Amino acid sequence: MTGVDLPTRWRGVLPHLEEQLPADRTPPVAPGGGQGVQVNLPMELVRQSVRRQEYWDIPAEVVDAYRAFRPTPLWRATAFERAVGARVPIYVKYEGGNISGSHKLNTALAQAYYYARAGVRELVTGTGAGQWGTALAAACAMFGIRCTVFMVGTSLRRKPYRGTLMRTLGATVHASPSGLTEVARQSEAGVNSLSLAIGEAVEYAARTEGAAFCIGSGETYSILHQSVIGLEAGDQLAALGAGVDAVVGCVGAGSNFGGIALPFFAEAAATGTRPPLLVAAESSTTPKLTRGTYAYDRTDATGTGPLEAMYTIGSSYPIPDSHAAGLRFHGAAKVLSAMRHRDQITATAVGQVEALEAGRRFTRAEMVLPAPESGHALAAAARLAGAGTESTTGHARAQQGVLVCVSGHGYLDLGAYQQLMDGELTEDGPDEGALRRAVADLPGVGQQPVGAGAGHER
């Protein structure tokens, strides 16, 4: 079901937070004694990150690009409800019907537009499962700029056709660690993470004339751009005469969850009503919101960018390999972390076997193949909608209905489903001792940095 107009404004959540987000901090010293990498943003993206403004006009060129695939479908997944024994309706918002196969295109188009207007000739990024890299490659092709992607090597080897699709769209693709950057050369043997891929992209962009680093998930402006998901979903539910008391999205750094959930928070705050339960479904291999620490941490492996206040398991933590793919990022977006700290959103961790089982059930019931990341959200939604009074998320079960975002399709992830059916998958959760060590030296939010004056943080 579509039946609603395409939003022409994004909706932000910053005006509805009681406090400003904690300010970023400068890292102590860049590795090798350098001065650090400066990531230059177009001024409009800076404004979207800091200004407490609720509505932002979407540029006409971006609206025109959105029209190729938006509004995206929303339907009641009655067959999936039967498959999981749901006692309340489950509504699905599907973001996989575009060239990138995921929600990532919503912000990729916006960012490519702003960077192109700022005179940037090449965008450089890191990607985990390849959805963001594909989205940025498509957006760069649309707005006439070059694209270079560093993709986590294990993901690229498992999904070589992600690389093929990005190259078809005109991008240059490197497996990370690539050997092309100093951060890769200095990385520990066997390290294969999104943090490293991002670090390589940051370094590469800094030394390439006319290039800029571009990120697709954790930044406040990227979550703002994703608000089209929740805005459409709210209108579509209203057109159906339906209501929900739980909203679920998977979370890597946070753009998909923020996109589906935060417009519901903003609407409730603006109208003085109670918001639905907003549940971030994360990977049990990377449990920043359920087992992490609210602290200042780096966002990439270079350690040269600003330190951000986030829920984190530590950027140095060696994340166990899994089919969580794009969810395998050590930290959560600072806006989501601040809201988690204030109990305005909540989280649950899902293992890859449960996630892929939920994805397989959804495929057989609804004839749509979800990405493994989306399987985490579907598993959490099934818990919330199930029989009984208390779900395995640790919260009361939904009484009215559950809205879940299926963030992308899984047609390039069939290897994961094959391993599931072959019984080859295991659950390798984080080691508690290693988690503690990875965050032991991180300054907690509210703690003073060394040499700082008193009382400036919050």
Residue 151 is assigned to a structural domain of this protein = no
Band (pLDDT 50/70/90 cuts) for residue 191 is low
Please check whether residue 437 lies inside any domain of the structure: no
Q: What confidence score (pLDDT) does residue 33 get?
A: 42
Residue 26's pLDDT is 84
Instruction: Tell me if 286 sits within 8 A of 313, measured CB to CB.
Output: yes
Residue 324 lies in a domain: yes
* Residue-wise pLDDT tens digits, 417-435: 999 999 999 887 788 898 9
Distant-in-sequence, close-in-space partners of 207: CB < 8 Å, separation ≥ 6:
none
**pLDDT at 455 > cutoff 60:** no
Q: Check if the beta carbon of residue 352 is closer than 8 Å to that of residue 323.
A: yes
Does a structural domain hold residue 332? yes
What are 53-103's pLDDT values in tens digits? 999 999 999 999 999 999 999 999 999 999 999 999 999 999 999 999 999
Are 203 and 126 contacting, i.e. CB atoms less than 8 angstroms apart? no
Give the model's confidence band at 442: pLDDT under 50 very low, under 70 low, under 90 confident, else very high.
very high
- Between 129 and 77, the more confident residue is 77
The pLDDT, as a whole number, for residue 87 is 96
Give the pair of three-digit tokens for residue 246: 């739980």
Q: Which of 35-49, 69-83, 372-386 has the lowest mean pLDDT?
A: 35-49
User: Per-residue pLDDT averaged across 118-124, rounded?
Assistant: 97
The mean predicted confidence, pLDDT, of the chain is 90
Give a yes or no: residue 182 inside a domain: no
Task: Say what the pLDDT of residue 190 is.
Answer: 58
Q: In the chain, how many domains are there?
A: 1
Comparison of pLDDT for 396 and 67, the residue scoring more: 67
Whether residue 201 lies inside any domain: the answer is no
**Structural domain range at position 278:** 63-100+221-426
> Does the pLDDT at position 452 exceed 50?
no
In a domain, 284, yes or no: yes
Parallel, antiparallel or unpaired: strands 55-57 and 9-11? antiparallel
Phi and psi, residue 165, nearest 5°: -65, -45
- C-beta of residue 326 within 8 angstroms of C-beta of residue 252: yes
Which of 103-107, 119-123, 124-128, 371-375 is predicted least confidently?
Answer: 124-128
H helical segments located in 242-299 = 255-271, 288-291
pLDDT band of residue 315 (cuts 50, 70, 90) is confident
Among 167-171, 255-259, 289-293, 430-434, which stretch is predicted with the lowest mean pLDDT? 430-434
| 450 has a pLDDT exceeding 70 | no
Confidence check: pLDDT of 286 > 60: yes
Check whether 209 has a pLDDT greater than 50.
Answer: yes
Residue 194's pLDDT is what?
77
**DSSP code, position 16:** G
Higher pLDDT among residues 41 and 40, named by residue: 41
Higher pLDDT, 388 or 121: 121
Q: Report the 10 Å Cβ neighbour count for 102.
A: 28
Lowest mean pLDDT, pick from 27-31, 34-38, 94-98: 34-38
CB burial readout 252-266, b (16+ within 10 A) else e: bbbbbbbbbbbbbbb
What CATH code is carried by the domain that includes residue 323? 3.40.50.1100
pLDDT at 47 over 80: yes
Q: How many CB atoms lie within 10 A of CB 31?
A: 15
Q: Would you tell me how many other CB atoms lie within 10 Å of the CB of residue 59?
A: 16
Band of pLDDT at residue 199, cut at 50, 70 and 90: confident
